[in-house]
Amino acid sequence: MIKKFPLINDKLNHFYHGADYNPEQWLKYPGIFEEDIRLMKLAKCNVVSLGIFSWVTLEPQEGVFNFEWLDNVMDRLYENGIYTILATPTGARPAWMAANYVEVLRVGENRVRNLYGQRHNHCFTSPVYREKTQIINKKLAQRYSNHPGILAWHISNEYGGECHCNLCQDAFRTWLKNKYGSLESLNDAWWTTFWSHTYTDWSQIQSPAPHGEAGVHGLTLDWKRFVTDQTVDFCKEEIKPLKEINPKLPVVANLMELFDGLNYWKFTEVLDIVSWDNYPKWHEKVDESNLASRIAMNHDLFRTLKNGKPFMLMESTPSATNWQAISKLKKPGMHLLSSLQAVAHGSDTVQYFQWRKSRGSSEKFHGAVVDHCGHENTRVFRDVTEVGSVLEKLDEVLGTSVQPEVAIIFDWENRWAIKDSQGPRNCGMKYEETVHSQYKAFWESGVPVDIIDMECDFSSYKLLIAPMLYMVKPGVGEKIEAFVKNGGTFVATYWSGIVNENDLCYLGGFPGPLRKVLGIWSEEIESLYDDESNNIIFSYDNKMGIKGEYETGELIDLIHVEGAEVLATYKSDFFAGRPALTVNKYGYGNAYYIASRNKDDFNEKFYGELITRLGIKPAVNAKLPKGVTAQLRSDGENDFIFLMNFNNGEEKVVLEGVVYEDILSGSNLEGETNLTPFGFKVMKRKSQI
Ligand code: GLA
Ligand code: ZN
């Protein structure tokens, strides 16, 4: 049974709508702040994220603090009904700090220390940076944690990157000692007899470097794990002084789209809420469905990270960015649709970067709610206001969520290992794309999906998909076996069950721990050049009832069945007639193996069949035109269906079964329903889940 999650903060029981606000840039411009307040109210904004890059304004010299300006900003905003998400300022540091303490500056993998500049580039190990962070965070907490206008803490900004200084090297060695206990087990795990790389003293171990060690895959993997752990540790320390003063105030960090550098699952314990910064390149293609589904998958990931708890859309641009190769404006309707897409997948906020365009420096042309012209008579301002008006009507959706019957595994450590694997396709193994191409089939059918990692609990799902599960960690094979034995349906693909958690190949036949449940053995894998292809042909009378041929390419696994049934075979080449798709009955469930990299048409057909056969419920009973999708949020009593049209043209959907209430217009919807270009409906029905 679905439950409603609590509000982010009881002080505000509406969707949050607002922006990063950087008033410290405008302190010398009289009138701007009061004008901002007027405009925020006009744009129906009720929150700002404040102080993200304010460190030097808060602490202009070491140990000298200045909070009066922030007192005034928070007070005046609150008096005007605008709440604050207050940031810790560690995303960028003052020049005086770098000048006084060189160790706060990050060292690159080439072992060259950065000069002062840019942002997001501190050493996360440096005791000085950690101490300075403690001091400023404590002062902020003492002064503002009990301010009536504060809703949450925005921790730092977009954590990311790595530091290779001597402090970090030492911390890495300590981390390794804790993990392996002895050099011998480290050497065994890293297979260091290869090229005579055996370590005989801990001090010989260095982080990976382009001009140093880059070929010991176990080392690279552990380094990435260490970087995540060290960043999480830094984040934890940031949070400590905040929680000491007001433990109830939630902490949130803004994460990034499928960010490779940090395993976000490790942050879930530390953060009360996750948020992310979403900058899709809308209108790059006429068919937006690839991009729309990729963004949808990200939203689903960020919701799944906290087990279905609503997330926050912390940043998005009200118009164009200024950092994409081509920074396009959003066509009419897209800003609202893109904002509502986040809500559809579980966000309880829509927030922007940033409120007012900076006058100078590198983001002076980045989209903002208020442009350099300074007034409200702009298309962007009207678009933003429209989002505010819509969100005001969605109060009953707040805190609702979804319990998908389908989960797709997207696992960071697996991803890192695949990238480093040096195998059949060094021009790109395309792990992320492969995960997304499975996901897209569900997006097109309007079927909700969770994006999990291999350590999650699988038991609540009907269908579990593990694209390219190259690394299988201890216990995961057994967990998948239990899942299938109990009646679950499992789908694996080529390039699965190859290595263990240390990136050591499984001996005794691939797919290692998945071999039994899948009932197949993979002998070798063929790679195709981009201009080569093959076909898979469904066998006559196969039990999925699929007919015909589907084009395949890039990676072709050559397998033998060991109990599994063959559903399709390869058409040509020396392996013509060998199995390309199999299913193995195991206990009460079934395990499918997709042996080759197929295209969208196969995924649509194959997963479409599974959806029907397993009785998986789509969000809405209707056939969805291409580019149109549906998502669901529910409180267990009512379902809220978001029907979204990502086409720049009108679409019709025939709603079957029930009469829906159109939340925005108040009217009823049944049968044929029209969607405007980039249009959507938010529809309510009695819960069907
Ligand atoms: C990131 C940062 C913001 C801003 C935007 C611009 O998300 O967090 O400070 O630089 O990018 O798109
Ligand atoms: Zn460092």
Written as one letter, the residue type at 233 is D
Tell whether 514 and 642 lie within a shared domain: no
Q: Which ligand is nearest to the CA of 122?
A: 2
Q: Which ligand is nearest to the CA of 128?
A: 2
How does pLDDT run across 89-98, given as a tens digit for each residue? Answer: 999 999 999 9
* Atom from ligand 1 closest to the CA of residue 53: 9
Report if pTM > 0.95.
yes
Whether 158 sits among the annotated catalytic residues: the reply is yes
Tell whether 643 and 601 lie within a shared domain: no
Query: Domain with 144 in it: what CATH number?
Result: 3.20.20.80
Q: How far is the CA of 537 from the centre of ligand 1 (A)?
A: 48
CA distance 143 to 574: 73
Query: Considering only CA atoms, which residue is closest to atom 3 of ligand 1?
Result: 353
Tell whether 539 and 657 lie within a shared domain: no
Are residues 490 and 484 in contact, defined by beta-carbon separation less than 8 angstroms? yes
Q: Which of 613, 639, 672 is the last residue of a domain?
A: 613
* Atom from ligand 1 closest to the CA of residue 52: 9
Tell whether 96 and 47 lie within a shared domain: yes
User: Is residue 451 classed as helix, strand or coil in its secondary structure?
Assistant: strand
Phi first, then psi, for residue 554 (nearest 5°) are: 65, -60
Residues in the chain: 689
Q: Which ligand is nearest to the CA of 169?
A: 2
Q: How far is the CA of 410 from the centre of ligand 2 (A)?
A: 29
Are residues 331 and 678 in contact, defined by beta-carbon separation less than 8 angstroms? yes
Strands (E), 109-167: 150-154
User: DSSP labels for 590-647?
Assistant: EEEEE-EEE-HHHHHHHHHHHHHHHTPPPSSSSPPPTTEEEEEEE-SSEEEEEEEE-S
What's the pLDDT at 689? Answer: 83
Tokens found for residue 641? 């269906």
Are residues 514 and 475 in contact, defined by beta-carbon separation less than 8 angstroms? no
CA distance 99 to 513: 53
545-552, long-range: CB within 8 Å, 24+ apart, which pairs? 545/609, 546/605, 546/606, 546/609, 550/598, 550/599, 550/601, 550/602, 550/605, 551/598, 551/599, 551/601, 552/580, 552/596, 552/597, 552/598, 552/599, 552/602
Largest CA distance in the chain: 79
Q: Which ligand is nearest to the CA of 103?
A: 2
* Atom from ligand 1 closest to the CA of residue 256: 7
Q: Which of 570, 588, 613 is the last residue of a domain?
A: 613
Catalytic residue among 158, 376, 413, 501: 158
Q: Which of 584, 613, 642 is the last residue of a domain?
A: 613
Q: How far is the CA of 637 from the centre of ligand 1 (A)?
A: 38
Written as one letter, the residue type at 263 is N
Tell whether 361 and 415 lie within a shared domain: no
Pocket test residue of 120, 158, 312, 351 for ligand 1, highest count of atoms within 8 A of CB: 158
Query: Domain with 632 in it: what CATH number?
Result: 2.60.40.1180
Nearest to 590 by CA among 521, 538, 519, 539: 519
Q: Is residue 344 part of a domain?
A: yes
CA distance 686 to 689: 9
Written as one letter, the residue type at 8 is I
Query: Considering only CA atoms, which residue is closest to atom 12 of ligand 1?
Result: 321
> Checking DSSP bridges between strand 628-634 and strand 638-645, what pairing results, if any?
antiparallel
Taking 50 as the pLDDT cut, the residues of the chain under it are none
For the chain, the domain total comes to: 3
Q: How far is the CA of 118 from the centre of ligand 2 (A)?
A: 17
How does pLDDT run across 117-153, given as a tens digit for each residue? Answer: 999 999 999 999 999 999 999 999 999 999 999 999 9
Q: Is residue 3 part of a domain?
A: no
Q: Quick one: 146 exposed, middle or buried, by C-beta within 10 A (0-12, 13-18, 19+)?
A: exposed
Pocket test residue of 353, 364, 365, 369 for ligand 1, highest count of atoms within 8 A of CB: 353
Are residues 483 and 513 in contact, defined by beta-carbon separation less than 8 angstroms? no
CA distance 446 to 432: 21
Catalytic residue among 59, 315, 501, 526: 315
- Residue 325: alpha-carbon gap to chain centroid: 22
Pocket of ligand 1 (CB under 6 A): 157-158, 277, 279, 315, 321, 323, 353, 363, 366
**CA dihedral sign of residues 609, 614, 615, 619:** negative
Pocket test residue of 50, 277, 298 for ligand 1, highest count of atoms within 8 A of CB: 277
DSSP secondary structure code for residue 329 in this structure: P
CA distance 598 to 602: 6
Q: Is residue 218 part of a domain?
A: no
What's the pLDDT at 490? Answer: 99
Are residues 276 and 311 in contact, defined by beta-carbon separation less than 8 angstroms? yes
What's the pLDDT at 397? Answer: 98
Tell whether 374 and 418 lie within a shared domain: no
Tell whether 483 and 336 lie within a shared domain: no
CA distance 157 to 87: 8
What's the pLDDT at 3? Answer: 81
User: Domain range spanning residue 36?
Assistant: 16-162+224-397
Query: Domain with 536 in it: what CATH number?
Result: 3.40.50.880
Q: Is residue 203 part of a domain?
A: no
| Helix or strand holding residue 180 (H, E) | helix 166-180
Q: Is residue 189 part of a domain?
A: no
Tell whether 378 and 458 lie within a shared domain: no
Tell whether 444 and 368 lie within a shared domain: no
Q: Is residue 177 part of a domain?
A: no
Tell whether 475 and 508 lie within a shared domain: yes
Tell whether 156 and 267 lie within a shared domain: yes
Q: How far is the CA of 363 from the centre of ligand 1 (A)?
A: 9
Whether 363 sits among the annotated catalytic residues: the reply is no
Q: Is residue 176 part of a domain?
A: no
Q: Is residue 568 part of a domain?
A: yes
Tell whether 392 and 415 lie within a shared domain: no
